[in-house]
Structure 1
Amino acid sequence: MSRIVTTFPLPDGAIELLRPFGLTGPDGWRGALTEAEALLCLLTDRVDAELLDRAPRLRIVANAVVGYEHVDRGACRARGIVVTNTPDVLTDATADLAMALILSAARGLPGAERSLRAGQFHGWGFWDYLGADLNGKTLGIFGMGRIGRAVARRAAPFGMRVIYHSRTRLSTHDEAALGAEWVDFDGLIARSEVLSLHAPLTPQTRHTIDADALRRMRPGSFLVNTARGALVDEAALVDALRDGPLAGAGLDVYEREPEIHPGLLHLPNVTLLPHIGSATRETRTRMAMLAARNVHAVLSGASPLNPVP
């Protein structure tokens, strides 16, 4: 009997850790739910009441990701099922990608590359392919958690000023260490020349960046989103990229993944990536291992390492 089922292939280290409990892999996990005590899953797996009803022995849902909006936590609590996630281990990889998107948007890399591939590059030109400097620009961060702070640290060597708005304000000491200034949301929108999103998706944050917020952004500014697609009203974003005030954007997440708003696909001033914020071999391995260690702890009678409320 398999006490553990996983919806995705695990690295060798996780398999060895969990093998003694019995492990069913992604090909047969649905059929093994009736006996399973642990489920390792991803953000693409909807863990709802219907699924939980098919797994009466389940004790833990271990996400190999940070977000957990795909899990019905109320249904899990009602059944006494622990839910865990994988914070910290993907912070640097995601912050690196956010910085890459900031650079790509500011320097207009998508349009420059498309031009070259289309045979429109005819040699160096003094006024061709102009982008924007980052030095001296104001970076606004919406959501100053682990990843937001990591982006702030990366922005400093580029000479960027950092302002932020977050549900919880940092301590004076942490603000000084990051060189970051807290502002209210209106101030964030009005002052940011580059706005990078790092907030969780909640009913309160859904479509925070809507048509009104976009209209109030600075002319020539840039938007980067590596958090959750639904933080942004994508139809309004298309308008802001096409007609202003935005000069460009960099997106790694989308409102209705894997669907991409068709208006985004044809704009030359937006970098579109396929949700790869944590997609390094090292980081994804650490994520899977942390999920496996959460399962091992619970099935061994210990407390989970990373429970979510």
Structure 2
Amino acid sequence: MKKELSKLKILVTRDIPELGLNLLRQKGCELNVQTSDNPFSEEEFKIASQWADVVLSSSKEKITENYLNANPQLLMLSQYSAGYDNVDVEACNKRKLPIGHTPQAMNRATSDIAFGLMVATARNFFFMHKKLERGEISGFKPRANLGQEMYGKTLGIFGLGAIGFEMARKCKMAYDMNIIYCNRSQNEKANAELDATLVSFDDLLASSDVISVHSNLSEQTHQIFNAEAFSKMKSSCIFINTSRGKVHDEKALIEALQNGEIWGAGLDVSDPEPMKTDNPLLNMSNVCVLPHIGSATVEARDEMARLSAENIIQYFEKGKMIHCVNPEVQIKEKVYQPKKELQDLLISNGFFVVSSENEIEKGKIWLKLSKHQQKTIFLDSYQINVFKSHVMEDSKSEVGESELRCLLLFFKLKSHDFKEICPSGRFNFDKAKKRILDIENELRELKRMNHLKPRQNKLQRILDNYSSILKTRKLA
């Protein structure tokens, strides 16, 4: 059962940017933010979470069956990350525990790292910097320290999602590279905008000059780049991984690099993280390694904070997150329709009224302009109350033919005009007719005196709308 947003207790396991924290504070949430540089141990995390209704965590905290058993009170999880391989999704599904995450937030930032690692590896940036530091650069040697150019080469993307698309777009624009990709399905946008081609995994390995990994970590992708995969690549191929370290077999990668099976590797991820200082990859001339900084820009981290907070806010206000790993367990928000006896009448008069409870509370209904076009009408608080008490399918008011006429008037007129006819908000057609007679008399008198032109216009508008309703075919 959901709680009110303002009463939520939220454990934030990392010191995320204030942008996200302030969004939650403004909603009245009580926060416990772990600001220490020392992350929770597994046991500390489990115990600290018992205070909370919601946990906003990073991809480093493990959400296991054991953790969930110790925290049955949790109402949702919000990940400060795009990936969610740290979460036992199946265990969450059994508990109907929704999981938010932050895809899209780091598309540009992470693709920048992938692109940078490609260039840095192709031109030996990191190794040349080390040689310079050690004083090992002496004189011009035409055949020394040679790299390779990327112009017109073939880029193979493994996992062409949003980040992979950004990487492919950069490579296409900068170097006019040919784009191929291995995916579960066609990426129509990439096909159309980048002239990209879907290929098999083996074709990706055999045809690519650069392979850039952007897939999620799953049972299917775990160490998919193994010794066999590296052996099928071109000897001039550059391997880039900015997704998860476990997507490649590190031992097999080291051997492939040492044996010259591939040209080089650019890594922003490793297994484990951080990479140990004695790892041979750190001292190879054809390898560039970064400490998983794909999303490490002010803009990306702010957006991750915003999205992880908004996932919480949207779920508790609307029942639906912006980005949910397991949307099938989200609480379904009830959709309200007009009473059956009203639907035909409304549709025949151009109204398509199907709204969620949250939309109605915000005064939002839909006006159908044509078969393929509609617009939103916003109601004020007075109109919302009328709508809820008379129109909703679960409202208890009886609606007869006279009420239907007034109902249409209610939709046709602005709220303050409607109050002129039904000041109590109740649909009494006889009283409405009497009020119309009063309006006609008032208008006649104002015209005779040539007085209060704006008032005359308002009253005439009411009468015109009312007359059009009386002429409605279904009510004639």
User: Shorter-chain-normalised TM-score: which range?
Assistant: over 0.9
Unaligned runs of 5+ in 2: 1-6, 327-476
The alignment status of 1:26 with 2:42, answered yes or no, reads no
Partner of residue 294, structure 1: 311
Stretch deviating more after TM superposition (258-267 or 177-186)? 258-267
Identical positions, percent:
35
2:17 & 2:9 partners in 1: Cα distance? Answer: 18
The alignment status of 1:280 with 2:297, answered yes or no, reads yes
The alignment status of 1:269 with 2:275, answered yes or no, reads no
Aligned with 1:12 (options 18, 22, 36):
18
SS at match of 1:176: helix
1:90 & 1:245 partners in 2: Cα distance? Answer: 32
SS at match of 2:314: helix
1:240 & 1:288 partners in 2: Cα distance? Answer: 39
The alignment status of 1:246 with 2:262, answered yes or no, reads yes
Aligned with 1:107 (options 123, 132, 137):
123
The alignment status of 1:69 with 2:75, answered yes or no, reads no
CA shift for structure 1 position 262: 2.1
Largest Rg, 1 or 2: 2
Letter in 2 for 1:237: L
Partner of residue 183, structure 2: 166
Write out aligned runs for 1:1-309 (5 A).
3-19=9-25, 20-26=28-34, 30=45, 31-156=47-172, 157-171=174-188, 174-260=190-276, 262-300=279-317, 302-309=319-326
* CA contact 2:99–2:325 (8 Å) conserved in 1: yes
1:49-107 superposed Cα distances (whole Å, 9 cap, x missing partner): 22223323211110010111101112222222110100111101011110000001111
SS at match of 1:162: strand
* CA contact 1:24–1:32 (8 Å) conserved in 2: no
2:255 & 2:190 partners in 1: Cα distance? Answer: 37
1:217-262 superposed Cα distances (whole Å, 9 cap, x missing partner): 1112110000111111111110111111211110001122234482
Partner of residue 462, structure 2: none
Letter in 1 for 2:307: L
Distance of aligned partners of 1:206 and 1:108 in 2 relative to their CA distance in 1, 3 Å threshold: same
Structure number with the higher helix fraction is: 2
2:186 & 2:280 partners in 1: Cα distance? Answer: 36
2:89 & 2:279 partners in 1: Cα distance? Answer: 33
2:192 & 2:313 partners in 1: Cα distance? Answer: 40
1:299 & 1:112 partners in 2: Cα distance? Answer: 53
1:301 & 1:187 partners in 2: Cα distance? Answer: 45
2:34 & 2:89 partners in 1: Cα distance? Answer: 23
1:8 & 1:125 partners in 2: Cα distance? Answer: 50
1:100 & 1:206 partners in 2: Cα distance? Answer: 25
Letter in 2 for 1:21: C
* CA contact 2:266–2:287 (8 Å) conserved in 1: yes
SS at match of 1:253: coil
SS at match of 1:164: strand
Unaligned runs of 5+ in 1: none
SS at match of 1:246: coil
Letter in 1 for 2:291: P
Distance of aligned partners of 1:2 and 1:59 in 2 relative to their CA distance in 1, 3 Å threshold: closer
SS at match of 2:319: coil
Distance of aligned partners of 1:244 and 1:47 in 2 relative to their CA distance in 1, 3 Å threshold: same
CA shift for structure 1 position 282: 1.1
Stretch deviating more after TM superposition (89-98 or 13-22)? 13-22
Q: Number of aligned pairs?
A: 308
SS at match of 1:300: helix
1:69 & 1:194 partners in 2: Cα distance? Answer: 26
1:307 & 1:46 partners in 2: Cα distance? Answer: 18
1:165 & 1:34 partners in 2: Cα distance? Answer: 42
1:300 & 1:185 partners in 2: Cα distance? Answer: 43
Distance of aligned partners of 1:284 and 1:129 in 2 relative to their CA distance in 1, 3 Å threshold: same
Distance of aligned partners of 1:184 and 1:32 in 2 relative to their CA distance in 1, 3 Å threshold: closer
CA shift for structure 1 position 201: 1.1
| RMSD, matched Cα | 1.9
* CA contact 1:2–1:35 (8 Å) conserved in 2: no
* CA contact 2:165–2:190 (8 Å) conserved in 1: no
1:3-28 superposed Cα distances (whole Å, 9 cap, x missing partner): 11100113222222212121111159
* CA contact 1:2–1:24 (8 Å) conserved in 2: no
SS at match of 1:196: strand
